[in-house]
Structure 1
Amino acid sequence: MAIFLTKDSKVLVQGMTGAEGMKHTRRMLAAGTDVVGGVNPRKAGAEAGFDGRTVPVFGSVRTAMDATGADVTVLFVPPPFARAAVIEAADAGIPLAVVITEGIPVHDAVAFQAYARQRGTRVIGPNCPGLISPGQSNAGIIPADITKPGRIGLVSKSGTLTYQLMYELRDIGFSTCVGIGGDPVIGTTHIDALAAFEADPDTDVIVMIGEIGGDAEERAARFIADQVTKPVVGYIAGFTAPEGKTMGHAGAIVSGSSGTAEAKRAALEAAGVRVGATPTETAGQVLALLADPAGRSA
């Protein structure tokens, strides 16, 4: 099993005919993803070729869903058009929209997140690498060849750290890796992924990667303490970040003691989460838990 994305997922790509859309659609297909169509109103009826395979292009998400039965859309849409693209997907009733685009204005993100939520569409992102269930399906830009299927679940704000932990634990493998994005307003949260991994019988250990800024990790810690029975290992990026300076992600800004890496680590450790000081140490904590599943705290 996996969360959010499985071998049965049928994937659309909004913006497939652009340079990024073409590049990553080719990579998704190579990973075994069932990409059933692209969406571009100006190229409806055309076909895009990918290493001997053709994928039809539709004029709208609704038309594509009706023709293919798609239940996932991945968006490679420029920031000025991302809000309309997500709203179109939500209006069509697609269950999952993965928004790769970065640089989307916050007021646009607030608007489309609320709209999608009202219509029952789960949004992952924006400004995220997407998600992968190794050996099953890959929706986004996560490299598919750095790990294998296994029993670790991973949820992360950082794309780069997602890849690093996947590689560090490549000999064990993952059920699903979810990059939720680092913008101030995102659709799927740490808590959403934690709840899904808790319910997934094929996930034994959960890795949660956070970063400075906001209080998402503190809220996740409370959820873990109350609702999660599986062992969780955490890592917080940004211990050396200077106060008041945004570091990489738009949401990664510290003000006073709020949002610091130390505060987040303390909250997670109080909830029984082992927190690594480095990504490599974090991977080591996972290996230790797999060797001794009964141990929950360091």
Structure 2
Amino acid sequence: MSILINKDSKVLVQAITGKSGSLQTKVMLEAGTNIVAGVTPGKSGQEVYGVPVYDYIAEAKAEHDFDTVISFVPPAFAKDSCFEAIDAGIKVLVLTTEEIALHDVVEIIAYAKAHDTILVGPGCAGVIAPGVCKVGAHPIRFFKKGHVGVVSKSGALSYEIGKTLTDAGIGQSSVVAIGGGPIWGFTQADAVALYDKDPDTDVIVLLGEIGGGSEEDAAAYIKANVKKPVVSLIVGRNAPQGKSLGHAGAIVSGNVGTAKTKIAALEDAGVHVVKNPVEMVETIRSLMDTERM
């Protein structure tokens, strides 16, 4: 089975009538996702690709059972909408919204933890279980069902590696993009822990980048706990110090968050660190049973 989502997941979309919400609803439905309802204040009674729309989550909850929410709500309203979703007793909240005030993000993360809700994001591409469903923005054509579990900060990098693996005939159990930081709910270490327990995942792929200590935390967890083989690619090896590259969290300050420190920590944990996608494919092939690709 996949991690975070599966064929039984029942999904609600926040801001479903907006540009991103309506587009991704269409694609998620095409991917097999069971979207039972959507929410946009003032739009109750409408439908988006056959999905009924309500003003508030409480109204949707009275009519539908759901355990997963994906939010496309604008930054200024993200905290309140996340609290509303979490109060509904959901298991997973995928927060795609970028540029949320950091103090709001801190409160959202704390609220989710206090209510045992897994928060993926903010500013993330979400998760896809190829051939089953997706809750996020991953292009379904880049992925195929298989037995490699992928976790990435970057959505775009997860797309690229997914396509590279698929083109090489290597399928994926799940692909999760947690967001570019600088702070997250669901972490790389959290994903690795779930993949290590997942019977459908044979090899774990950790896609990292400069900045912060997420990869080092994952390395420490891997060293202490993980039995399955882990392959990692760290991007930004030649990034100039003190300059943010793409993501808010992708910045090197002093000796903290460098590619060198991340690679050293991962190698010390027994991770197979590769230099490029081609080497990743070769390494995964050497670690997997060909019948499970």
Normalising by structure 2, what TM-score?
0.96
Alpha-carbon distance in 2 for matches of 1:152, 1:62: 37
Q: Partner amino acid for 2:33?
A: T
Asked whether 1:109 is paired with 2:108, we answer no
Alpha-carbon distance in 1 for matches of 2:192, 2:152: 11
Q: Which segments of 5 or more consecutive residues in structure 2 lack a partner in the other structure?
A: none
CA drift at 1:135: 1.0
Alpha-carbon distance in 1 for matches of 2:225, 2:250: 26
Q: Specify the SS of the correspondent of 1:217.
A: helix
Asked whether 1:179 is paired with 2:171, we answer no
Alpha-carbon distance in 1 for matches of 2:32, 2:122: 24
Q: Partner amino acid for 1:253?
A: I
Asked whether 1:40 is paired with 2:40, we answer yes
Q: Which residue of 2 aligns with 1:249?
A: 247
CA drift at 1:160: 1.0
**1:66-77 superposed matches below 5 A:** 66-77=62-73
Normalising by structure 1, what TM-score?
0.94
Q: Partner amino acid for 2:99?
A: G
Q: Specify the SS of the correspondent of 1:252.
A: coil
Alpha-carbon distance in 2 for matches of 1:124, 1:65: 21
Runs of 4+ in 1 over 6 A off after TM superposition: none
* Count of aligned pairs: 288
Deviations for 1:33-87, whole angstroms, at most 9, x for unmatched residues?
1111111121122222x2xxx1100222233233221111111111111111111
CA drift at 1:203: 0.5
Q: Which residue of 2 aligns with 1:222?
A: 220
Asked whether 1:62 is paired with 2:48, we answer no
Deviations for 1:161-199, whole angstroms, at most 9, x for unmatched residues?
101111111112111111111111111001111110011
**1:200-239 superposed matches below 5 A:** 200-239=198-237
Alpha-carbon distance in 2 for matches of 1:66, 1:191: 36
Q: Which residue of 1 aligns with 2:142?
A: 146
Q: Specify the SS of the correspondent of 1:218.
A: helix
Q: Which residue of 2 aligns with 1:29?
A: 29
Alpha-carbon distance in 2 for matches of 1:218, 1:6: 29
Q: Partner amino acid for 1:67?
A: E
Aligned identity (percent) is 49
Alpha-carbon distance in 2 for matches of 1:216, 1:157: 9
Deviations for 1:217-249, whole angstroms, at most 9, x for unmatched residues?
111111101100000000111111100011111
Alpha-carbon distance in 1 for matches of 2:289, 2:200: 17
Alpha-carbon distance in 1 for matches of 2:17, 2:274: 41
CA drift at 1:257: 1.2
CA contact 1:134–1:174 (8 Å) conserved in 2: yes
Q: Specify the SS of the correspondent of 2:249.
A: coil
Q: Partner amino acid for 2:225?
A: Q
Q: Which segments of 5 or more consecutive residues in structure 1 lack a partner in the other structure?
A: 293-298
CA contact 1:165–1:283 (8 Å) conserved in 2: no
Alpha-carbon distance in 2 for matches of 1:192, 1:109: 18
Q: Specify the SS of the correspondent of 2:216.
A: helix
Alpha-carbon distance in 2 for matches of 1:283, 1:250: 29
Alpha-carbon distance in 2 for matches of 1:219, 1:290: 26
CA drift at 1:100: 0.7
